[in-house]
Structure 1
Amino acid sequence: MSSPEAKRLKTEAAKIGTHNGHFHADEALAVYMLRLLPSFNNAALLRTRDSAALETCDIIVDVSGVYDGTKHFDHHQRGFTETFSSSKQTKLSSAGLVYKHFGRAIIAQRLSLPEDHASVELLYQKLYTEFVEALDANDNGISAYPREIEPAFSTGGITLPSLIGAFNPNWNAPVDQAGEDALFEKASKFIGDVFSQKLEYYASAWLPAREFVVKALEERTKHDVDGRILVFEQSIPWKDHLFTLEAEEGITDEGKKPLYVLYGEGAGKPNWRIQCVPVSKDSFESRKPLPEAWRGFRDEELSKISGVPGGVFVHASGFIGGNTSYEGALAMAKKALEL
């Protein structure tokens, strides 16, 4: 979807409209994201439920009962079913609506690339899935788990929506409209800073890691004839990229999928890690855990049990281990493949 950002360029200061009263994370983020765009960078904010006053704004979020993708970005109206894409089921909030239409422009601006660049699209999809979608779900009352599952503890007080909610005036300490608007601006900056930090991380750290995963996949038969071992010089965010690239490249043969990832612990540190590839990106279950006989042992004891000198440790669950050298880590990985 092409952004209508270019159509919004004006010589006069733009104005964003949203509702007053109790505010939530979605409109707080929506307003922040709009202000990242050149045409809304210095936009004034009008918080009201007066329809006539709202219509004087250049863009209206989370109020008005209309979604048209140009000026009105509300999701409360009967019959609203908009999602981010055909592969998503989560109904959008005002944050998701603004991101859907303007996210590419925001990311392209950060990367100094055209909106249709492949890197912009990768980040656009990633940032929605990893950040914005959860806010959409929360605002629309969509649970992440089936209702019959009881959580072991409460996370309600540490979620972003709950933290934004805490910026609202206390029920027993009312403020006037100006005071309420000032609290909204603080809340918008708070959640916006988190959004910007996420974007910065994905742009400057996560995205550049992709080319290293591509290279490791290309060279994986150097370490194992079936390509079951990947090697990186240091720890990088590899999991997302590996699963994406496996799908893109049609790596479906279970006997030829990567099982172990080796990486150095960093500059000046000789130790190497051997980490198991999980069955899915967010799973704690490994495709092939390190041998049960090695688990929970360290140093000389581990070296003796494994038969590989330089052993440092193997985690009790078998998902990760370490050796004092690359050669030792590779030997552990090769042995583990046969056990």
Structure 2
Amino acid sequence: MNQKIKIFTHDRIFHADDAMAAAVLRMAFRNVEVIRTRDQSILRAEADQPDSFFVDVGGVYDPARRMFDHHQPSGAGFRNPEEREWPYASAGLVWKEYGGDAVRAVLSVLNDREVGEIVRYIDDVVIKSIDAVDCGVRLRSAGPSLSKLFSSFNPSWYEKEEPDAFPLVMDLAQVLLTNFIKRYAGKVMARDRVRGAQRIMGGQVIVLDTCLPWATVVGDEMPDVRVAVYPVQTDDGKILQWQVRVAVNADMTLRLRLPESWAGLDGSSLAEASGESTAVFCHRSRHLAGALTKAGAMHLAEAALMVESERLAA
């Protein structure tokens, strides 16, 4: 969309939801002007103008009027209304309406089904947590959340409130969101190639002609596959090595471990332990190894399966 729009949101302290909502609108419309104000006379004058979008201000949620607030007494609804779970804030409201346009702006080759899946995924793993935090829901996380990351750009109590960091945070939100979209879109676009890849050694080894995001498809759909073999390539297509990686189950447990005698070895030490002259390395956790040639990687995979079979038979 090439229409120039104006995005109205509140001034002073910003939050992840308004920064992310503004970023989504910029991805969808490209040409935007952001006006940060709480001046009611300005907001009243701009309300219902065809190029005006209200984010986190206005006291109304009405996508037809381009108003995306959630602070009104009635709120703006829940993703799970029966349990009143995962409330909407401005990021989720804008994403629900314009997320598809934002995804298409990143990757125009996607079809409608793929776009819809990516929109749902991004809402589930990125947007809904931002909304929840803004609505006062306390979430546990292993480290700083996106909400805390964005909020860290606000001045502390002893600092002056200028310069305004909102443009920087809006840029950061757009970069992060674009990366999330690209990463998941890569999985979506790779699925059929993974499903059609060659399987050998009784179906226990899948061989890929390029390094694709294969682990989820194999974990969900190919219970017999225990190892994947694929090349590691430079941008110009030169193959640096072939890797052997152990597949994981849906609960992330390994389907086997490479031989204990290979753990942490590289070069000639690994070549001697594995019997493969082109062997490069084996990770100490025994989930990943590499060889200089495809045949060498196949040999490592075959040897690993044999050792595992002997271990189970013992």
- Coarse TM-score class (shorter-chain normalised): 0.7 to 0.9
Structure 2 residue matching 1:99: 3-state secondary structure: helix
RMSD value over aligned CA atoms?
A: 3.5
- Name the aligned partner's letter for residue 22 of structure 1: I
**Counterpart Cα distance in 2 of 1:68 and 1:104:** 18
TM-score, length basis structure 1: 0.72
Structure 2 stretches of 5 or more lacking a match? Answer: 309-314
1:278 and 2:260 correspond? no
What are the residue-to-residue correspondences of 1:1-339 with 2, within 5 Å?
A: 14-38=5-29, 41-48=31-38, 50=40, 53=43, 56-57=46-47, 58-70=52-64, 71-77=66-72, 80=75, 81-83=77-79, 90-112=86-108, 117-140=112-135, 141-144=137-140, 155-156=143-144, 159-175=145-161, 182-203=164-185, 205-216=186-197, 219-220=198-199, 223-225=200-202, 227-243=203-219, 246=221, 251=222, 254=223, 256=224, 258-266=225-233, 267-269=237-239, 271-280=241-250, 283=252, 285-338=253-306, 339=308
**Counterpart Cα distance in 1 of 2:299 and 2:44:** 67
1:250-279, Cα deviation, whole Å (9 max, x unpaired): x5xx4x2x2111111224445211001122
CA contact (8 A) 2:106 2:178 kept: no
Structure 2 residue matching 1:333: 3-state secondary structure: helix
Q: How many matched pairs?
A: 296
**Residues 197 and 324 of structure 1: is their aligned pair in 2 closer, same or farther, counting only changes over 3 Å?**
closer
Structure 2 residue matching 1:271: 3-state secondary structure: strand
Q: CA deviation at 1:292?
A: 2.5
**Counterpart Cα distance in 1 of 2:289 and 2:156:** 50
**Counterpart Cα distance in 1 of 2:187 and 2:140:** 25
1:83-102, Cα deviation, whole Å (9 max, x unpaired): 2899x964333212211221
CA contact (8 A) 1:51 1:64 kept: no
**Residues 104 and 293 of structure 1: is their aligned pair in 2 closer, same or farther, counting only changes over 3 Å?**
same
Instruction: Report the structure, 1 or 2, having the larger strand content.
Output: 2
Structure 2 residue matching 1:121: 3-state secondary structure: helix
Structure 1 stretches of 5 or more lacking a match? Answer: 146-150
CA contact (8 A) 1:95 1:135 kept: yes
**Residues 269 and 112 of structure 1: is their aligned pair in 2 closer, same or farther, counting only changes over 3 Å?**
closer
CA contact (8 A) 2:218 2:247 kept: no
- Name the aligned partner's letter for residue 23 of structure 2: Y
**Counterpart Cα distance in 2 of 1:265 and 1:14:** 44
Structure 1 residue matching 2:78: 3-state secondary structure: coil
Structure 2 residue matching 1:321: 3-state secondary structure: strand
Identical columns (%): 27
